[in-house]
Amino acid sequence: MILDISHFFDVDDTTYKDKGIVVYTFKDDLLDDFVSGFVLPFRQAYVSDEELNDGINNNVLSNKEEGVKMLLPTKPSLKSGEFAEILLYYISQCFRCPDINIAPLKWRWKENQDMPCHLTDIVLAKCEDEKNPTKEDYLYFVESKAAAIPLRKTSKASVFNVGIKGAVNDSVSRIGKTITYLITKYNKEKEYDKARKIKRFSDSVDTVEYQRYSNAAIVVDSKSLKKHIDNITIDNLNKAKKNNISLFAIPITEMKSLYNRIYDEALKV
């Protein structure tokens, strides 16, 4: 089931229309309700209830908190980055591609809690029947960047610049490697139906053409949203346009405080 978090965000597709950027603005007055509704799906992005319960029932874990604590990142930069990725994972499903039926939780496959996930940040796909592929099948992928610390007034930086470059890399080469990675992971987990559906998008398969949607997205402290957007270089805006990369942003008031609260609450659910 796709998490519906639409009522926590307002969609602004006019303010930065000239740059092709859609902004999903968080409703600050719904902060507590958001945390209450988001914390369990956030934790489940790292580990399922079934896996935690199996660990407890087989005397590997004393309780759920012990199991979750071993999986959540401790490095501030990684906590910020993975909060952004998981938020964008659900935002994408809710607002941008609600009809997908393949949504890999790549954070469950991390080899170490303080190492990032491999390859393309977020991959979602729609394929109803891999034996009868159609042109309506699609692959949706996102390069995610986070910046919880507000930029200085004189800063010329923008995480959008880094995100666009990463999205171009995804479009050119990395998404192919990611598809192979997903097939391998699903196969090892005996999720054969998902493996077959993902394989439909593999370059090695001679099949019906499908649609590809490339995105670069940022989650940043709201104080610096305008600066991150103003500091996008003309060269990178042109690259995004040339490579059909969609741009969107999520500004969060006191972003660092929010993600730390989410991580703390995730230990309890």
**Contact partners, residue 29, CB within 8 Å, separation at least 6:** none
DSSP class per residue in the chain: -----GGGEEEE-STTGGGTEEEEEE-GGGHHHHHHHHHHHHHHTT--HHHHHHHHHTTS-SSHHHHHHTTS--SHHHHHHHHHHHHHHHHIIIII-TT--B---GGGG-SSTTSPPPSSSEEEEE-S-TTS--TT-EEEEEEEEEE-SPPPTT----HHHHHHHHHHHIIIIIHHHHHHHHHHHHHHTT-HHHHHHHHTT-TTS-----EEEEEEEEEEEGGGHHHHHHT--HHHHHHHHHTTEEEEEEEETTHHHHHHHHHHHHTT-
Distance CA 157, CA 184 (A): 37
Contact 144, 122 (CB under 8 A): yes
Domain boundaries defined on the chain: 6-266
pLDDT by residue, tens only, the chain of 269 residues: 567 899 999 999 999 999 999 999 999 999 999 999 999 999 999 999 999 999 999 999 999 999 999 999 999 999 999 999 999 999 999 999 999 999 999 999 999 999 999 999 999 999 999 999 999 999 999 999 999 999 998 999 999 999 999 999 998 889 999 999 999 999 999 999 999 999 999 976 667 899 999 999 999 999 999 999 999 999 999 999 999 999 999 999 999 999 999 999 999 99
First to last CA, the chain: 18
Beta bridge partners of 249: 23, 218
pLDDT score of 204: 61
pLDDT score of 205: 62
Q: What is the largest CA-CA distance in the chain?
A: 58
